[in-house]
Amino acid sequence: MKKTAFIFPGQGSQSAGMGLDLYNNFTQAKEVYEIADEVLGKKISKLCFDGPDEELKETINAQSAIVTTSIAALEAFRKMADIKPDVVMGHSLGEYCAMYCAGVMDLKTTIKAIQKRSQLMDIAAKSTKGTMAAILGADIENINSSIKEASNLGSVQIANYNDPTQIVITGEIEAVQKACELIKEKGARKVIPLAVSGGFHSKLMDSAKEGFIDFVQTLDLKDASIPVITNVDAKMTTKAQDFKEKMPNQINSSVMWCQTIQNAIEYGVDTFIEFGNGRVLAGLNRKISSEIKTYNVSDSITLKAVIDELMVGV
């Protein structure tokens, strides 16, 4: 191995049953869920394990559930393996797990931050009429020109740079729909409307960002012990004050995931370990570079498999 990165998925990676195996097999994971239940004042653990999916996918539940499960997977792994990352990163919501991993926030602070973030984003989504769509196989210039043309109908912008072939757009419903029509006409391979409750990572989240600014200033953040490549600029960040500025900005700005992974590769990373439910980021990484390897830790079986492969000769 050259260098290793720990990565964490964002909203949309949740599904009922996630984390139950970790909870049952690792004391460290069980403690993460117990602390999350205490801080949130509700049984997020039960929702993770039993669902229902409809309730689990609600923003105010999904964000806490995903973060708790990813951190539980991380702590189980830390107990079993002496593998330390050279850099960490997370996709949107997952960035909070990355900050936790880097020592920027302790567990209770991380859960409190996500609880506030999800509440503000949920309120913003319900007070605006927003949506999102995934664009596959389209030229970025055509996407940008279509967005510009559709913007006379309302706010529309790029939400996620996921990989070289996948861009997600976001904003007001009519403007997003128009942009999708134009992008199709210009030769996109596929346009997929997303089943989301709002236009996340857009100007429609401005009120959530503003509400989060003052809250973030009350948090006890430390300088990162491991560089975090942040979503808003795909740059390595270590200073506590920089995180306090970037955390609110992340809510209404684009997620530069593709650029983040590319910068990690330039830094020398060839091995990525994804912590949390599903393999969403592993799938994106395969499209970003065929030269890297991405593992996933989501339960005791995948954890053991990763350790067996990466600890050989260590």
Q: Which residues are catalytic?
A: 92, 201
Check: CB of residue 164 under 8 Å from CB of residue 287.
Answer: yes
CA distance 312 to 291: 20
CA distance 44 to 41: 9
CA dihedral 186, 255, 208, 40 (to 10 degrees): 130
CA distance 45 to 19: 8
Q: Looking up tokens 């067996």, which residue turns up?
A: 308
Check: CB of residue 137 under 8 Å from CB of residue 186.
Answer: no
Beta pairing, strands 156-163 & 87-90: unpaired
Contacts of 197 (CB under 8 A, 6+ apart): 58, 59, 122, 125, 126
CA distance 119 to 104: 22
CA distance 80 to 48: 23
Check: CB of residue 283 under 8 Å from CB of residue 57.
Answer: no
Ramachandran assignment for 87, one of left (phi > 0), alpha (psi -120 to 50 degrees), beta (any other): beta
Check: CB of residue 97 under 8 Å from CB of residue 275.
Answer: yes
Instruction: Say whether the peptide bond before residue 85 is cis (omega within 30 degrees of 0).
Output: no
Check: CB of residue 97 under 8 Å from CB of residue 17.
Answer: no
CA distance 258 to 167: 10
